[in-house]
A and B are shown apart, each in its own frame.
Chain A
Amino acid sequence: MSQGLDIDHLAKLARLNLTPDEKKLYTQQLSQVLTYFEALAKADLPPTADVAMVVDESALRSDEPGKPLGAEAVTKIAPASHDGQISVPRVVDDES
């Protein structure tokens, strides 16, 4: 089952850069883990998953706005901010 392990594709989906050595290592380790997972493929399992977990009485809170942290607290922990807003690299290219 582990034949489909395309490490470049996975790294792209997961937004990770991997060095050639990391790619080699992770491919080998993940293949080993996936081989171990084959017990799941062979097992006799119920047709569907019981999605109701232990908590059957899960409480939904009333739909009222809570007290937010506020711009000051939020921008204080942000890597970069400007005028009470979080700043990031340019998202839209210049028209040129």
Chain B
Amino acid sequence: MAQEIYQLSATEISQRLAKGELTSRALVEALMKRYHALNKKVGAFTHLDEADVLAQADASDARRKAGKILGPLDGIPVGIKDNIAVKGQPLTCSSKMLAPLVSPYDAHVIESLRAAGAILYGRLNMDEFAMGSSTENSAVQKTYNPWDLARIPGGSSGGSAAALSAGLVPLALGSDTGGSIRQPASHCGIIGLKPTYGLISRYGLVAFASSLDQIGPMARTIDDCVLLLNALSSPDARDMTCFDKNHRKQLPEVAAKSLRIGVPKGVLGKGVGAEVAAATQAAIDFYKSQGCTIIEVDLPSSDLAVPTYYVVATAEASSNLARYDGVRYGHRSANAKTPIEMMTNSRSEGFGPEVKRRILLGTFVLSAGYADAYYVRALRARSKIRAEHLAALEKVDMLLTPTVPTPAFKAGEKVSDPLQLYLEDIFTIPANLAGLPALSVPCGKSGHLPVGFHLVGAPLSENKLLAAARLFEAAHGFANQLPTL
């Protein structure tokens, strides 16, 4: 059976464009047709400027005709999470606070995608200011899991993951502060990579928790993920935490079959669903059968990861979100006589409940009398977690765990219990705290719902993780799977 255009991987699209079997215009027209048929049902995109998309596609086709294409991404659409700045497009972080904002500039990654000829394709829904694990905190709309429309897609990059698995776009950008790329990737049966902290510039990414945030690629195959990653990673002096060399170019290819894979002690025990545990164990068994060495590793401070994360992330968020004062951009309250009233009323009207909850928590852990007990202790715990991970990653090439303990839950199921929702990120958070690269790879189903496993490596070991994932992908049928919608 011939594949529909929307089913093609970005790598296949790139090849067809190169051979002249497909034009970028025909591609985006097919995708926009699917957008009109399905976006209301899935709720992935919050905005799509169709005239702008067509103009970008025509420009790409013209370049190709003139023999001047800009690289393998030329003419291929990339969906953009709504916290990454694209000049002339809305930049709302799915918040009422930024609802009126049109970005006056491009993020570094957007400049890079433009330079690669990629088509900037729409704005993707997210949890407000990237705070959440279900995309239910969006002030704009709900997003549903294409594998089961009664369930959440994960979050905060839920729009990106849902758009990919619904066949609305072949590639997407997400951002990941505690699992916001990998958790929705796992729930939607796609690939999500959080790169090493510093590999990709954060210039133009709306800040949530600056020491944890990273932009990363989301895709339906490993090759597609690499295609996008290669375009995103380059030095940028505007982000002082970005590496000043292009480490992507220096990474060697890796022989996947000789890898040493660490499995944390007891990781498939408490709190992990039976089918998630079985799918993860099957992945471990697969690597063993391929000649990889499986080693049990001890990470005694793992239990500290979630509390440490929620102290550090909310502390940084309370500080970063202080900039939303109604003065320079975003929402300004109509009911204010004094500057203080303007700030307080604008923030109270603009922020949703989860954002307020995290600002209050972050304010508390930084406040006089409590900063030493919470924030400073969390920084010390973070050092310990990082040291334990780096020590473990000297003995093994990567760690393997489930990405999320349980599959996607039903919409509304955990709305009233923030603590339960925070535990969704128990396996993904340590990589952010330690600045390590981490990847979620589809590895099976729990009932009808996708499950992913999670690989974490030493700094700049993206190629090892991708090689291991490619070995798994080649032997299984989970790549580029789309549910029937």
Chain B residues lying within 8 Å of A51, measured Cβ to Cβ, are 379
Q: Which A9-64 residues have C-beta < 8 A from chain B?
A: 9-11, 13-18, 22, 26, 29-30, 32-34, 36-37, 39-41, 43, 45-51, 53-55, 57-62
Cβ of A53 to closest chain B Cβ, rounded Å: 6
- Tell yes or no: B484 within 8 A of A by CB: no
Q: Which residue of A48, A79, A90 is within 8 Å of B331 (Cβ)?
A: A79
The size of the chain B interface, using a CB distance under 8 A, is 79
Q: Which B199-216 residues have C-beta < 8 A from chain A?
A: 211
Contacting pair B307 A37 (CB below 8 A)? yes
Report the interface size class on chain A.
35 or more
With contacts A33-B418, A40-B304, A45-B377 taken as known, whether A14 is within 8 angstroms of B360 at the C-beta atoms is yes
Cβ of A93 to closest chain B Cβ, rounded Å: 9
Contacting pair B338 A58 (CB below 8 A)? no
Q: Which residue of B303, B332, B337, B360 is within 8 Å of A79 (Cβ)?
A: B332
Q: What is the bound-complex CA distance between A82 and B459, given in angstroms?
A: 49
With contacts A49-B383, A54-B435 taken as known, whether A26 is within 8 angstroms of B357 at the C-beta atoms is yes
Contacting pair B360 A15 (CB below 8 A)? no
With contacts A53-B197, A53-B435, A54-B196 taken as known, whether A48 is within 8 angstroms of B380 at the C-beta atoms is yes
Q: Which residue of A15, A61, A69 is within 8 Å of B238 (Cβ)?
A: A61
Q: Which residue of B310, B364, B377, B459 is within 8 Å of A5 (Cβ)?
A: B364
Chain A residues lying within 8 Å of B182, measured Cβ to Cβ, are none
Instruction: Give me 5 A-to-B residue pairs in the complex whose CB atoms sit less than 8 angstroms apart, sorted by A's number.
Output: A14-B318, A37-B307, A59-B242, A79-B329, A89-B339
Q: What residue in chain B is nearest A93 (Cβ atoms)?
A: B338
Most buried by B among A50, A60, A79: A79
Contacting pair B384 A46 (CB below 8 A)? yes
Contacting pair B363 A43 (CB below 8 A)? no
Q: What is the bound-complex CA distance between A58 and B243, given in angstroms?
A: 6
Q: What is the bound-complex CA distance between A90 and B301, given in angstroms?
A: 52
Instruction: Produce 1/0 per residue, A68-96, CB < 8 A to B.
Output: 01000110111110000010111100000
Query: Which 4 residue pairs spanning A and B have beta carbons closest together?
Result: A54-B435, A79-B332, A59-B244, A61-B237
Q: Which B320-337 residues have C-beta < 8 A from chain A?
A: 322, 325-332, 336-337
Contacting pair B377 A41 (CB below 8 A)? yes
Further 16 A-B residue pairs, CB within 8 A, beyond A4-B370, A49-B379: A5-B364, A30-B357, A34-B364, A36-B306, A41-B373, A54-B435, A57-B244, A58-B240, A69-B105, A77-B101, A77-B102, A77-B104, A77-B329, A79-B100, A88-B339, A88-B342
Q: What is the bound-complex CA distance between A9 and B336, given in angstroms?
A: 21
Q: What residue in chain A is nearest B437 (Cβ atoms)?
A: A54
Q: What residue in chain B is nearest A75 (Cβ atoms)?
A: B328
Q: Which B345-402 residues have C-beta < 8 A from chain A?
A: 345, 347-348, 351, 356-357, 359-361, 363-364, 367, 369-370, 373-374, 376-384, 386-387
Contacting pair A88 B383 (CB below 8 A)? no
Contacting pair A26 B418 (CB below 8 A)? no
Chain A residues lying within 8 Å of B104, measured Cβ to Cβ, are 69, 73-74, 76-77
With contacts A10-B364, A30-B357, A36-B419 taken as known, whether A58 is within 8 angstroms of B374 at the C-beta atoms is no
Most buried by B among A26, A34, A41: A34
Contacting pair B307 A7 (CB below 8 A)? no
Q: What is the bound-complex CA distance between A51 and B380, given in angstroms?
A: 9
Chain A residues lying within 8 Å of B374, measured Cβ to Cβ, are 37, 40
Q: What is the bound-complex CA distance between A11 and B198, given in angstroms?
A: 34
Q: What is the bound-complex CA distance between A53 and B240, given in angstroms?
A: 12
Contacting pair B328 A86 (CB below 8 A)? yes
Chain A residues lying within 8 Å of B307, measured Cβ to Cβ, are 36-37, 39-40
Chain B residues lying within 8 Å of A90, measured Cβ to Cβ, are 338
Cβ of A67 to closest chain B Cβ, rounded Å: 10
Instruction: Produce 1/0 per residue, B243-281, CB < 8 A to A.
Output: 111000000000000000000000000000000000000
Cβ of B372 to closest chain A Cβ, rounded Å: 11
- Tell yes or no: B341 within 8 A of A by CB: yes
Q: What is the bound-complex CA distance between A27 and B355, given in angstroms?
A: 15
Q: What is the bound-complex CA distance between A58 and B240, given in angstroms?
A: 6
Contacting pair B363 A13 (CB below 8 A)? yes
Contacting pair B244 A88 (CB below 8 A)? no
Most buried by A among B245, B322, B356: B356
Q: What is the bound-complex CA distance between A11 and B325, given in angstroms?
A: 14
With contacts A54-B435, A55-B435 taken as known, whether A43 is within 8 angstroms of B347 at the C-beta atoms is no
Q: What residue in chain A is nearest B98 (Cβ atoms)?
A: A77
Chain B residues lying within 8 Å of A86, measured Cβ to Cβ, are 327-328
Chain B residues lying within 8 Å of A5, measured Cβ to Cβ, are 364
Contacting pair B356 A89 (CB below 8 A)? no
Chain B residues lying within 8 Å of A60, measured Cβ to Cβ, are 240
With contacts A59-B237, A78-B328 taken as known, whether A29 is within 8 angstroms of B383 at the C-beta atoms is no
